[in-house]
Amino acid sequence: MFGLMDGFLRNDPLSLQKDILYHVEYTVARSRFSFDDFEAYQALAHSVRDRLIERWHDTQQYFKRKDPKRLYFLSLEFLMGRTLSNSITNLGIRNQYAEALNQLGFELEVVAEQEGDAALGNGGLARLSACQMDSLATLDFPAWGYGLRYQYGLFRQVILDGFQHEHPDYWLNFGNPWEIERIHVSYSVKFYGTVEEEVLNGEKNKIWVPGEMVEAVAYDNPIPGYGTRNTINLRLWAAKPSDQDDVESFNTGDYINSVINRQRAETISNVLYPDDRSYQGKELRLKQQYFFVSACIQDIIRRFKDTNNSFDVFTDKVALQLNDTHPALAIPEVMRVLVDEEHLGWNQAWGIVSKIFFLTSHTVQPEGSEKIPVDLMESLLPRHLEIIYDINFNFMEELKKHIGSDYDRLSRMSIVEEGPVKNIRVANLSVVCCYSVNGVSRIHLELLKTRVFKDFFEYWPEKFQFKTNGVTQRRWIVVSNPSLCALISKWLGTDAWIRDVDLLMGLREHAGNADLHQEWQMVRRVNKIRLAEYIEAMSGVKVSPDAMFDVQVKRIHEYKRQLLNLLGIIHRYDCIKNMKESDRRKVVPRVCIIGGKAAPGYEAAKKIIKLCHAVGEKINNDPDIGDLLKLVFIPDYNVSVAELVIPGSDLSQHISTAGHEASGTSNMKFLMNGCVLLATSDGSTIEIIEEIGEENMFIFGAKVHEVPALRKKHAEMKAPLQFARVVRMVRDGYFGFEDYFKPLCDAIDKQGDFYLLGHDFASYLEAQAAADKAYVDQEKWTRMSILSTAGSGRFSSDRTMADYAEKAWGIKPCKCPL
């Protein structure tokens, strides 16, 4: 019965204090009379971990007993950031811990700063997975996350002379108290080899005889819900050498080389690939993907068989969410296990497979679609290639019945791409096999239907849906902006919005209240001062919190148009330089903040980072300019930097060329924190405009449906004068490095300006001018700010997850009793 009782551990400050000291002495092995902030963090983390484990056990036992349909969330990337603060907030024992630490002479905020980020992902897609795990736990869904335990997370960005350098992120160096190693939960993963046939009960059966084996070992990471006992699991796999592997070379006596060879197995889960097209078709990346799905599927089927004895009910018990096409090999893998190992007939297996998979697409870039060279597939995963061919054969036969002999269309829709190099189209495989395909915003679905998957949409219109992304208000308000959190609760008269975010709408009725305005401005100012201190520490540039903080932080990409932002800043600088003294007094002081990483092989993105530094160098050191304009680059942007930057921003830019940002999620985080958006009508911003009104934002630029025609026309048009002038300044070496920046300028004025910077420039400047004007009127600005937070409820991942549960996965809450 213990599993259903409250745990052993008590949560009053005195008990917590004893617990921390216990871990100082016995886990960290330091004297309880003398330990530093980092050791305090380690001990604190272990004490929180104990509490997480208790709840984790109870939840898992309860799930097992109830045996509901479960959701398995498969993602090669999770950007969890820090865990400590989030966990104690969700467990509801933050204040008790703060008090316990205080009595020991430590400060919770300082101790929490000791933790490093878990950065097992690239950007939007990966942070979305983390937000969704928080929501799944909070909403009591019987869900599991699966990912890879990379030894090296996303590279650390180091800036030298304004250039990006990539440094390894060896994040496990100081241990990871948040994971539980499960050495007994491990599976063999096969690679290479041949496919052979055996006769079983008079029927032919395929067996895959592997050429290499690697072990997948589980590391469990508890994910606590907020205001519930439910604590779900994020299981990450690490590659270890297999005992069955390589017996041959040990027998031949080459002991040292055999050990070294074995160790090579670990490389599979060693490093997270940065989001970069040039990695497509690489053997190690494919191995990583298959290693991941093979371990997941073995684990899921084992768990299913623990409580069920017939695959007839598999579809009632299991839903598999594919986070983009990266884990799509799970599809042929389930087919292989069901047919070759469980000996189901092909049709029965296909009947199951075609009902359990759900795909979310996160891209609109056609070059984002993964392809696997058939040659590579044949050598690494020979049986899967056969299965994919069979799936494709059946699909093509069915398709011909409906569309006849339209060979162009058949070849476009085929899973196999013919040509000099034959490829497997992973997106086509996923669309054919998944029960539903989800876009991440309404406009994204439109683009999937009319561009990316047009042929498929016409054939299977009901398969295509959208669930607009969301972010968790627990991390993005409660944890990262505690004073705003307290203020919201005070004015709503409740903190229930932390679980029921629609309640934020209640702020609308106070949007004109002068008292709220004053308190709101105060909270925002304190956050700005904190950010200003960080900026000075990181870049040496002193910035004034009186200025408007204008922020663009996200991965560097041409379509996200950090270059448009920079050209706008150059224009502003140029204007101020040429102003009369009397006009200067009217300028609204600005601190422009840019941050983000460029993929290591993405030259244009790296040049944009250097340009930002070159322009900043000029402006920040120009005595004519003073505090009227500053430009700073925040290095190594990651989740914990975001937690500091977002609450301290006034204006936040989301300025992608319309039709290129599938959704965007940082816009939602800024919105929740009362930042005003300056944005194009793209991705989820379109829905944000509907929710809070265009009058409360600064919207500019071409619309999605105008872009294709503009691209054709734009090539012949002359760029507006002010635009030509700022591009000239860069080209002529006003900021130095003219040879290095030349390709950036050429892309704009010689190669057709694909991302329409020239076209959107004038309206961008107008939107910026409107922002200046609104900022001067602090009452107006504060109102817009409050209305931004008030309208952010629809963009919570709680809503997204509830939507998926109901409309796609068919799962229901399963709440572990207190």
Q: Give least dist CB 602 to ligand 26M, A.
A: 12
Contact 704, 682 (CB under 8 A): yes
* Amino acid sitting at position 105: G
> Which residues 6+ apart lie within 8 Å of 33 measured at CB?
none
Instruction: Report the site for ligand 26M in 677-706 (rule: CB under 6 A).
Output: 683
Tell me if 122 contacts ligand 26M by CB under 6 A: yes
Tell me if 148 contacts ligand 26M by CB under 6 A: no
Among 235, 303, 362, 590, the one annotated catalytic: 362
CA distance 470 to 488: 20
Of 185, 137, 153, nearest to 81 by C-alpha is 153
Q: Which is nearer to ligand 26M, 372 or 485 (CB)?
A: 372
Q: Which DSSP symbol is given to 7?
A: -
Give the range of 121-129, 225-233, 309-317, 692-700 binding ligand 26M by CB under 6 A: 121-129
Catalytic annotation present for 718: no
Q: Which is nearer to ligand 26M, 372 or 726 (CB)?
A: 372
CA distance 147 to 140: 20
Phi first, then psi: what are they for 222, rounded to 5°?
-70, 135
CA distance 589 to 16: 47
Instruction: Report the site for ligand 26M in 439-458 (rule: CB under 6 A).
Output: 440
Phi first, then psi: what are they for 474, rounded to 5°?
-65, -55
CA distance 424 to 373: 6
Among 517, 560, 654, 794, the one annotated catalytic: 560
What do you get for the CA distance between the two ends of the chain, in Å? 13
Q: Give least dist CB 434 to ligand 26M, A.
A: 17
Tell me if 123 contacts ligand 26M by CB under 6 A: yes
Among 49, 669, 783, 799, the one annotated catalytic: 669
Of 674, 582, 574, 676, nearest to 629 by C-alpha is 574
Catalytic annotation present for 82: no
Q: Which is nearer to ligand 26M, 73 or 187 (CB)?
A: 73
Q: Give least dist CB 380 to ligand 26M, A.
A: 16
> Which residues 6+ apart lie within 8 Å of 493 measured at CB?
none
Q: Which is nearer to ligand 26M, 323 or 673 (CB)?
A: 323
Tell me if 124 contacts ligand 26M by CB under 6 A: yes
Q: Which is nearer to ligand 26M, 124 or 225 (CB)?
A: 124
Q: Give least dist CB 359 to ligand 26M, A.
A: 12
Q: Is 267 exposed, middle or buried (0-12, 13-18, 19+ CB in 10 A)?
A: middle
Q: Which is nearer to ligand 26M, 75 or 87 (CB)?
A: 75
Among 228, 325, 665, 789, the one annotated catalytic: 665
CA distance 506 to 497: 10
Q: Which is nearer to ligand 26M, 124 or 568 (CB)?
A: 124
* Amino acid sitting at position 210: P
Catalytic annotation present for 560: yes
3-state DSSP call for residue 747? Answer: helix
Catalytic annotation present for 773: no
Of 118, 135, 99, 130, nearest to 15 by C-alpha is 99
Tell me if 384 contacts ligand 26M by CB under 6 A: no
CA distance 757 to 799: 35
Tell me if 125 contacts ligand 26M by CB under 6 A: yes
Site string for ligand 26M, 328-367 (x = CB under 6 A): ----------------------------------xx----
What is the enclosing helix (H) or strand (E) of 374? helix 374-380
Number of residues that bind ligand 26M (CB under 6 A): 21
Among 23, 449, 474, 554, the one annotated catalytic: 554
Q: Give least dist CB 770 to ligand 26M, A.
A: 25
Of 635, 696, 685, 648, nearest to 663 by C-alpha is 685
Tell me if 745 contacts ligand 26M by CB under 6 A: no
Tell me if 663 contacts ligand 26M by CB under 6 A: yes
Catalytic annotation present for 400: no
DSSP 263-315: HGGGGGGTBPPPS-GGGTT-HHHHHHHHHHHHHHHHHHHHHHHHH-S-GGGHH
Catalytic annotation present for 554: yes
> In this chain, which of 80, 98, 112, 128 binds ligand 26M, going by CB under 6 A?
128
Q: Give least dist CB 812 to ligand 26M, A.
A: 25
> In this chain, which of 340, 661, 753, 760 binds ligand 26M, going by CB under 6 A?
661
Tell me if 58 contacts ligand 26M by CB under 6 A: no
- SS3 per residue for 697-710: CEEECCCHHHHHHH
* Amino acid sitting at position 297: I
Q: Give least dist CB 670 to ligand 26M, A.
A: 13
Among 23, 262, 524, 555, the one annotated catalytic: 555
Instruction: Report the site for ligand 26M in 616-635 (rule: CB under 6 A).
Output: none
- In degrees, rounded to 5, the angle at the alpha carbon of residue 359 between the alpha carbons of residues 355 and 363 is 160
Instruction: Report the site for ligand 26M in 251-290 (rule: CB under 6 A).
Output: 273, 275-276, 279-280, 285
In the complex, residue closest to ligand 26M by CB: 124
Q: Give least dist CB 156 to ligand 26M, A.
A: 18
Catalytic site positions: 362, 554-555, 560, 665, 669
| Footprint on this chain of ligand 26M (rule: CB under 6 A) | 122-125, 128, 273, 275-276, 279-280, 285, 362-363, 440, 469, 661-665, 683
